[in-house]
Amino acid sequence: MFSIGPGKNDHHAALRAAAGLFIPLLTLTLTNRLDLAIFANFAAFTGIYGRNEPHRVRLVAQTRAGLLMICVILAATLSARFSPGGALGPWAIVAGTTLVAWGCSVVVAYWRLRPAGSLFHIFAFAAIASLPHQPPLGDATLTVVATFLLCLAIGLASRVHPGHRAPLTWQGLRAAWRVRLGVTERRVLWLESIGYLVASAAAGSAATAVGEALGFGHNYWAIVAAVVPLVGHSTRHRVSRGLQRVLGTVVGLALLAGIAALRPEPWVMVVLIGLCQFVVEMLIARQYFLAQVFVAPLALLSTLLVAHTNPVTLLHDRFIDTAIGSVVGVLVVLAPLVYGRLRSAALHS
| Residues 199-211: tens digit of each pLDDT | 999 999 999 998 8
Residues 6+ apart with CB under 8 A from 342: none
Has residue 335 been placed in a domain?
yes
Has residue 2 been placed in a domain?
no
The residue type found at 35 is: D
> Residue 7 pLDDT > 70, yes or no?
no
Residue count (the chain): 349
> Residue 239 pLDDT > 90, yes or no?
no
C-alpha torsion sign, points 202, 205, 210, 211: positive
d(CA 301, CA 25): 12
pLDDT band for position 179 (cuts 50, 70, 90)? confident
Domain with 310, as residue range(s), is: 10-160+168-347
Has residue 155 been placed in a domain?
yes
Q: Give tens-digit pLDDT for 294-312.
A: 888 888 888 777 766 667 7
Has residue 1 been placed in a domain?
no
CA proximity to 93, closest of 219, 194, 210: 219
Has residue 5 been placed in a domain?
no
> Residue 162 pLDDT > 70, yes or no?
no
Has residue 197 been placed in a domain?
yes
Look at the chain and report how many structural domains it folds into: 1
Has residue 15 been placed in a domain?
yes
Give first-to-last CA distance, the chain, whole Å: 38
| DSSP assignment of 46-91 | GGGSSTTS-HHHHHHHHHHHHHHHHHHHHHHHHHHHTSTTSS--HH
pLDDT of residue 79: 93
CA proximity to 54, closest of 172, 178, 148, 151: 172
Percent over 70 (pLDDT), the chain: 93
pLDDT band for position 166 (cuts 50, 70, 90)? low
SS3 133: coil
Has residue 81 been placed in a domain?
yes
